[in-house]
Amino acid sequence: MTTGIAFAELFDPKFLESLQHLKIVARRVPRGGRLAEQRSLDLGAGIEFRDFRPYAPGDDFRAIDWNIYRRLGRVFLRLFEELEDLSLYLMPDVSKSMTSDGKGRLRATLRTTMALAAVSLSQHDRVGLFPFADHLLQSRPPAAGRGRVMSMAKHLSELPSTGGTDLVHSLAEFAKRKLRGGLLVIISDFFDPAGIDSVLKALKRQRHKILLVQIARDEDRDPRFQGDYRLVDSETGQSQDVSVDAHVLKRYQESYDRFQNKLIDFSKSHPAGFLRLNADEEVVPQLAGLFESGSYIV
C-alpha cells in the first residue's frame, strides 16, 4: 500500500521547478551556516588557515612556514581547516496518522524531504533516506550525486503509508546502524503515543546533530469544533466519546502548548535546530525564507 498520492501530484513540474530556486537561495547562505560545506574537525592541507604547530618527523615539508623559520629559527607547520561533505539523514514520518487530514500533512512531509534532499545533493553532500512509522521502512543508504534527485523522488512517491507511530523505536533502530556523524533531520508532527518526553529522551541518545522539522496545521492547537463527538484514532481504530466545551478546549490548548514548548526547549538546550512548517502552505517558500534568514542553522 503506497501513500496514495501519485508521483505527478506529489512532485508536479511547478514544485520541481521551485527546487531550482531553493538551490539558488541555499547557495547565498554563508559557508558554515547551511546544510552544505561543513567544516571538518581534521586539520591538514585545506583551504583556510586555522593554526600553527611545531614540525614533527614525517610531516609534509610543503606545510612548513619558512617565514617563521627565518625569524625565529624554529620549524612550524601551517594548519588549515578542511571542508568536507555532509552526511544528511532524512527521517520522514509516513505513519497512517499523517493521512488523517486528507493527506495534506503527508504531502507536506514528503515535499519537505524532497526539497532538503535536492539542495544537499546539489551541494555534493551524501543523503540517506530513513522513513518511519512504527519502525524504519524502505531505507536508502547515504550516497551523493545530483543524478539521484529523481530516483529519490520516485522512491518517496512509492513509500507505504501504513502502521502506527513509534518514533522512539525507529530512533533506536536508526542508532544501531552506527552511521558516520552527520545531520539527522526528522520530519514529523511528533505526535507519538509514547509521549513527547520519551521522544526527546530517544533524541538525546543520537550521536548526530539534529534538526526537527514539525509539520503542523493551525487546527492542531485550535480545533474548530464544540459539542459531542466520537473521536477515532486513525492508527488503532480505538474510539473515545468526548463533550467539547470551552473548558475542555482550554485544557487541550494548555496541553498542546506544553508539548510544543518541550520541542522548542529541546532545540535550545541541545545541538539541535527546530523548524515549524505549515502543512496548508507550499513548503518551498517556507524553506526559502528560513534559509535566507538563517533561523534554521544548527
Shared domain for 147 and 240, answered yes or no, is yes
Shared domain for 12 and 100, answered yes or no, is yes
Shared domain for 171 and 99, answered yes or no, is yes
Is 2 domain-assigned?
no
Shared domain for 69 and 118, answered yes or no, is no
Shared domain for 245 and 209, answered yes or no, is yes
pTM value > 0.85:
no
Average of per-residue pLDDT across 229-250? 87
Instruction: Report the distance separating Cα 166 and Cα 170, nearest Å.
Output: 6
User: Counting Cβ atoms within 10 Å, is residue 271 exposed (0-12), middle (13-18) or buried (19+)?
Assistant: exposed
Is 298 domain-assigned?
no
pLDDT tens digits, residue range 74-108?
777 776 554 456 788 999 999 988 887 778 899 99
Residue 159, pLDDT score: 86
The answer on pLDDT for 174 being more than 90 is yes
Write down which residue in 84, 104, 120 finishes a domain: 84
Is 21 domain-assigned?
yes
**Per-residue pLDDT band at 259 (split at 50, 70, 90):** very high
Query: Based on C-alpha coordinates, what's the Rg of the chain?
Result: 23
Average of per-residue pLDDT across 58-63? 65
pLDDT tens digits, residue range 185-216?
999 999 999 999 999 999 999 988 898 999 99
Is 280 domain-assigned?
yes
Instruction: Report the distance separating Cα 292 and Cα 259, nearest Å.
Output: 28
Q: Check which CATH number belongs to the domain holding 250 and give it.
A: 3.40.50.410
CA angle 82, 113, 167 (to 5 degrees): 100
Is 42 domain-assigned?
yes
Shared domain for 149 and 245, answered yes or no, is yes
Element (H, E) at 18: helix 13-27
Find out whether 75 and 69 touch, Cβ atoms under 8 Å.
yes
Shared domain for 251 and 154, answered yes or no, is yes
Shared domain for 162 and 98, answered yes or no, is yes
Shared domain for 11 and 42, answered yes or no, is no
Q: 281-288: long-range contacts at Cβ-Cβ below 8 A with a sequence spacing of 24 or more? A: 282/15, 282/18, 283/108, 283/111, 283/112, 283/115, 284/15, 284/18, 284/19, 284/21, 284/22, 284/111, 284/115, 285/18, 287/22, 287/112, 287/115, 287/116, 288/21, 288/22, 288/25
Shared domain for 138 and 221, answered yes or no, is yes
Residue 181, pLDDT score: 85
Is 1 domain-assigned?
no
Shared domain for 130 and 69, answered yes or no, is no
Residue 188, pLDDT score: 95
Q: How many domains does the chain have?
A: 2
* 3-17, 74-88, 187-201, 259-273: segment of lowest average pLDDT: 74-88
Residue 43, pLDDT score: 39
Residue 86, pLDDT score: 75
Instruction: Report the distance separating Cα 134 and Cα 58, nearest Å.
Output: 52
Who wins on pLDDT, 144 or 83? 144
Question: What residues make up the domain containing 69?
Answer: 38-84
DSSP 245: -
Write down which residue in 27, 49, 84 finishes a domain: 84
Is 229 domain-assigned?
yes
pLDDT tens digits, residue range 104-130?
899 999 999 999 998 888 877 889 999
Residue 37, pLDDT score: 41
The answer on pLDDT for 66 being more than 90 is no
The answer on pLDDT for 8 being more than 90 is no
Shared domain for 175 and 150, answered yes or no, is yes
Instruction: Report the distance separating Cα 200 and Cα 185, nearest Å.
Output: 14
